[in-house]
Every structure is written in structure tokens, then in C-alpha cells.
Amino acid sequence: MKKNLKGLRQEIDNVNISILEMLNKRAGLLREVVELKDEEDIQFFDAERETLMTEYILQNNKGPLYNELVKQVFAAIFSTSLKFMGKSREKKLLISSASPETYPTIQKMFKIEGDNPVIIAGPCAVEKLDYLEKVAEFLKARGIKFMRGGAYKPRTSPYDFQGLRADGLRMLRDVAKRYDLITVSEVVDPRDVELVAQHIDVLQVGARNMHNYELLKEIGQTRHPVVLKRGMSSTISEFMFAAEYIVLRGNKNVIMCERGIRTYETKTRNTLDISSIPIVKKETNLPVIADVSHSLGRKDIVNSIAGAVLAAGADGIMVEVHPFPELALSDSKQQLSMDEFDKMLKHLEKHNNYVIG
């Protein structure tokens, strides 16, 4: 009997639904594959598998669709599947699903739910022993627990001061020990991670290195707390993925640090993206701090911005302080003097319930 158009269309509709059901069945199987691969730490994308699947499909093609067209259809299915696998994974990032109790070291160091926000302060770079002594004594007297100082300085110009490197690490460690302070210092090269971790309590990944995945992986092998700075051209998602690189290797002690992004604005060095603070806090269980020195590049507005980031929910701030900012070998314009630092604390005491001492 000759089929009519309506009947044929009805059949096609039914076939479409069958194809959809099969595609969803395939997606369900893929989800199981992702889970298995995650458990066994197997490579996400397997190009060889795609080739083998295509060959097998073409061998079984009985037509009337030509092999070339079948290939195109399955190429689309494979690429959709990859997207689907990525998306199912995104939903369950390790940094989003673990509870704060999973991060014991930073939980202990950072009173995430405590009343006083954390302040990480210190010079841009480790320069001289007596400068560092002055800063350490000053911070200790104000109850600040974390002292920062760069020993490896990633500078925009290769002619600028590059840091004291291993000597700087030792200096920071020795001074901090005398004043019982927790040290924070940047590591820029995967080959230095071990050395920096031997001397320093909290490793820092700088904005310029947020996309240095080999560095992130290496740091992920340690169990050191890490201050991970947001890259200056990174989206919030990229920032979170960078943290995931570290956590995926087993190091759950990541502290997210918003430090501003590049925009067309020139009044500040970078544009501090305050909105990232509640977003990262909402989407991960990691502590979030904001760097009010590198984001602004100026110090006349540090007080209000420090207050603003804490009001936005930041667990702490990072700020540069130097005994003689005008003599600093790097970032001299943005480093607070000790007097200016005290004024900032007073501002936070008044506006953000910060308890000095």
C-alpha cells in the first residue's frame, strides 16, 4: 500500500524520538565513563578511541546513507559528547563539592568563619634584612599573623629587580621564625616548588602564572597552603579551573585571591572585580581574599577598598607595607608606610569590626 505524506512524517517523528532516546542512553553511558576515568585518573579525551569507533560504525553501515555523511553525523555526536562530558564534570568540580572541613590546614591557619579577617602584609619584595625585621616587628605588635615578601619577582621588565631568590627565601624564613609569623612567598617556576616549600609556609601563585598549569600541578603535589592569584586577563571560571588543577592533585589548601583584572581603566593599575568575591565564595568552598595593593597600584584609596572587599565577604586582604616605601625596589607607589598601614587598620576597626591586636 502506498504511504501518504502524513504517515511518513509520523514515522520520521517516531524515528527522531528513537534517535533521541538512543543519544540519551549514550550520554548516560558517557557519564559513567567520566566517573570511571576520574576515579582511575585516566585521560579525559582519547583520540584513538574516536577513530576506532568511526571505523567500526562505517564497517557496519548498510546504507542508504553514504559513509561520508555517516562520518559527519558521528563527528557531530562525538563533539557533542565531549561537551556533555565537560559539562557534567564542571558541575562537580572538586573545589565546589568539598566542604570547608576538607581543607584542614587553611581552616586552621585562616579562621574562615572567625570574626577577624586575615591580613597578609609585608613588602612587595624581600630586599634587606633590617627592612624585613622592622616589618615583622611592626606586624607582630598589631597581631598580624601573615608576612609576605617576594623572593622571586616576576617583573614586567627584565631589567628590573628580579628578587633575591634563594637568599630571599632564607631571609624571610629566619625573620618570620623570630617573630612567629606565617610566611607567604611567590613561586614562579615548577622547578623551584620544592625549595620554596622547604622555606615558606604559604606558597603564592602570581597573576602572571595563574595559567602556568605545570606550576599548578607541581604545587598540587605538595600539601602546602597556596594563595592563588587571579590572572589579570582571566575569567572567574578560568580562575576556578586553575584552583581545580591544584586540588585535583590532592592539595586542598587553596586560598583564592582576587587581585584585579586589566580593563581600559587607567586610574587604577587593575580593576578590582569585587563581584568575583561572592561568586567564588558561592561556587567553591575555598577562602577568598583580595589584594588591595596590586589591584589598585595606588594607596590613597586603600582604606575604603579594603573595607569594601571585606564587606563583600572576603575572608581577608593582602596588602603591601614597607618601612620606607619610596626606597622600595618594586611597587614603591602602592606600598603603604607603617603609618598608612595603621590608618588602614583603624579604618577597618571602625567600619568592618576588625579587632586590632
**Residues binding ligand PEP (CB under 6 A):** 124, 150, 186, 206-208, 229, 259, 291, 294
Question: CA angle, 340 as apex, 335 and 341 as ends, to 5°?
Answer: 80
The cell numbers describing 334, all together, are: 602602592
Nearer to ligand PEP, 134 or 269 (CB): 269
197, three cell numbers: 616549600
Q: Please give the backbone phi and psi of residue 118, each rounded to the nearest 5 degrees, phi first.
A: -80, 140
Query: Within 13 Å of residue 127, how many CA atoms lie on the same side as its CB?
Result: 19
Binding to Mn ion (CB under 5 A) within 56-75 occurs at: none
Among 192, 258, 273, 331, binds Mn ion (CB under 5 A): 331
Nearest approach in angstroms of CB 124 to Mn ion is: 3
Q: Which of residues 229 and 252 has its CB atom nearest to ligand PEP in the complex?
A: 229
Q: Which does 224 bind (CB under 5 to 8 A by kind): ligand PEP, Mn ion, none?
A: none
Report the residue number whose CB is nearest to Mn ion: 124
Q: How far is the CB of 124 from ligand PEP (least distance, A)?
A: 6
Q: d(Cα 317, Cα 255) in Å, to the nearest integer?
A: 11
Q: What angle do CA 332, 295, 237 make, to 5 degrees?
A: 145
Residue of minimal Cβ distance to ligand PEP: 206
Residues 290/319, Cβ–Cβ less than 8 Å: no
Residue 306, binding choice from Mn ion, ligand PEP, none, Cβ under 5 to 8 Å by partner class: none
Distance between CA atoms of 2 and 41, rounded to whole angstroms?
Answer: 56
Q: Which is nearer to Mn ion, 43 or 156 (CB)?
A: 156
Per-residue contact string for residues 121-150; x = within reach of Mn ion by CB under 5 A:
---x--------------------------
Measure the CA dihedral 125/131/132/133, to 10°. Answer: 180
Q: Which does 117 bind (CB under 5 to 8 A by kind): ligand PEP, Mn ion, none?
A: none
Q: In this complex, which beta carbon is closest to ligand PEP, that of residue 81 or of residue 322?
A: 322
> How many Å apart are CA 327 and CA 106, to the nearest integer?
34
With CB cut-offs between 5 and 8 Å by kind, which of ligand PEP, Mn ion, none does residue 315 bind?
none
- Partner that binds at residue 192, options Mn ion, ligand PEP, none, CB closer than 5 to 8 Å by kind: none
> What count of other Cβ atoms lies within 10 Å of the Cβ of residue 277?
23
Residue 134 contact among ligand PEP, Mn ion, none, beta carbon within 5 to 8 Å by kind: none
Count of residues engaged in binding Mn ion, rule: CB under 5 A: 2
- Out of Mn ion, ligand PEP, none, what residue 322 binds, judged by CB under 5 to 8 A for its kind, is none
Report the alpha-carbon distance of residue 240 to residue 86 in Å, rounded: 15
Amino acid in position 217: K
CB of 310 to ligand PEP, least distance (A): 19
- 210 or 348: CB nearest ligand PEP: 210
Distance separating alpha carbons of residues 272 and 289, to the nearest angstrom: 12
User: CB 235: neighbour CB atoms within 10 A?
Assistant: 13
Residues that bind Mn ion (CB under 5 A): 124, 331
